[in-house]
Amino acid sequence: MSWKRKSRRREPPVSDHAPADVCEGKAGHERRSSAVTGIVVSTEREAGLLLRQLAGGERIFLQQKSFYRGNLKGSVPTVICICGVGKANAAHGTALLLERFGPDLVWSIGVAGAYPSSGLEVGAVAVAEKDIYGDEGLVTGRGGSGFHSMDVLHLPLCTVDSTHYYNAFPLFVPECLQGCGNRGIFVTVSACSGTRERGIELEGRFGALCESMEGAAVAHVCTLNSIPVAEVRAVSNIIEDRSAEPLDRESLITAAGRVQEYFLDVCI
């Protein structure tokens, strides 16, 4: 598909004669009469199938990030953000998505590493009911054995309508995902777990199924803006002792394809 590239320069406010379904807000936030779905993925690989299903698409480049706007499956107004890897990129991309395009619902989609006792296999799809920052807090004790989360330190990461959010952010589970048998807690990390011991530690600490490097950051920004966010991922690897080599390419491709297929079949 050939994408039309749009200038990163913000469009000026539309005039009174502009189409009724689009108007500019105070900060470039486009308010539409029809609902817009936002999707955040970390890499192009995790969006390839989605982009092929995006009709009438245009590429908009904002602050070094690509956003693709069109109609998913030809009928669902959608903006896909390729945010980049990691929490900072995810928060940045999500903030731009919300500010510039004003989606009514955000989907966090991608791959994840499954914890050893999760029972998940490569390619399995899982749905998050909650995503937890796994690193934020204080580590004490010999060898870093004692972990104290942000609530223990009385330091909320954000406060919305008098509700304090520490490490955990609840996720919206729409009706289309209620039938997924693999539902539970996800963990967001800065450094992926590369030993079985570390995987078992995080799995036990949080009662989690899997980990990624972006999920909680997407949920964090959506929570600040009172926008519902759903998260669905497919397993690219089972956490075990590994070298510092990239993950198996075929497993990554399988997982990325599987989660996109699932999303398109079940949720769109």
Say what the pLDDT of residue 14 is. 29
Say what the pLDDT of residue 33 is. 43
SS (H, E, C) 189-218: CCCCCCCHHHHHHHHHHHCEEEEECCHHHH
Torsion from C-alpha of 88, 92, 93, 98, nearest 10 degrees: 140
Taking 90 as the threshold, does the pLDDT of residue 11 lie above it? Answer: no
Say what the pLDDT of residue 244 is. 86
Say what the pLDDT of residue 57 is. 83
Residue type at 142 in one-letter notation? R
Say what the pLDDT of residue 246 is. 87
Average pLDDT over residues 223-230: 98
Say what the pLDDT of residue 9 is. 43
Average pLDDT over residues 128-157: 91
Non-local (6+) Cβ contacts of 142 within 8 A are none
Summarised one tens digit per residue, pLDDT across range 20-63 is 233 333 333 444 446 999 999 999 999 999 999 999 989 999 99
Model-level pTM greater than 0.95?
no
Say what the pLDDT of residue 144 is. 55
CA atoms within 13 A on the CB side of 120: 32
Name all domains of the chain by residue range, CATH numbers in brackets.
35-267 (3.40.50.1580)
Say what the pLDDT of residue 24 is. 33
Number of other CB atoms surrounding residue 125 within 10 Å: 21
Average pLDDT over residues 14-21: 29
Nearest residue to 189 via CA among 206, 171, 172, 177: 206
Q: How is residue 62 written in tokens?
A: 């904002």
Taking 80 as the threshold, does the pLDDT of residue 101 lie above it? Answer: yes
Say what the pLDDT of residue 23 is. 33
